[in-house]
Amino acid sequence: MKKGYKALLAEADAEVAAIDTTEAATLLGRDDVVFVDLRDPREREREGVIPAAFSCPRGMLEFWVDPESPYAKPIFTEPKRFVFFCAGGWRSALAAKTVQDMGLENVCHMAGGFGAWKKAGRPVEDLPPPKSKG
């Protein structure tokens, strides 16, 4: 192994701004801020979501951010601050570094992730049950 996850996380921590849940809570609901939920759908269904967060599964991030990708999402071209979060803060640190390296500006991640957000008693919503097919 040339570089393990600990080294990758250390690099991300050195290069990407991290905010705590107190600071993140002051940003929630602002028009110039997008909370980006990197958790997979099962995590979101099981644990709930931060109100109005944009869901971007981690595996699609680079494709959704790159405007030249056929999967590009226009939200990532808007002049906003992007607050990335996952369950515990590791995926979001790596993701924020990746998009920052790609050229996305005004990026940070929420230290401690959704778990810290929920533990701090911040707003959480349940996802509606999936629609049945048929």
Structural domain span for residue 79: 8-119
Residue 114 has pLDDT above 90, yes or no: yes
The domain tally of the chain equals 1
Print burial letters for 23-41: b (CB count within 10 Å at least 16), e (below 16): ebbebbeeeebbbbbbbbe
| Helix, strand or coil, per DSSP, at residue 17 | strand
Q: Is residue 131 part of a domain?
A: no
Give the pLDDT confidence score for residue 134 in this predicted structure.
62
Q: Evaluate whether 50 touches 35 at the Cβ level (below 8 Å).
A: yes
Q: What is the pTM of this model?
A: 0.93
Residue 3 in domain: no
In-domain check, residue 127:
no
- Kindly report, residue by residue over 44-74, the tens digit of the pLDDT: 999 999 999 999 999 999 999 999 999 999 9
CB 18 within 8 A of CB 93: yes
Domain-located, residue 34: yes
| CATH number, residue 38 | 3.40.250.10
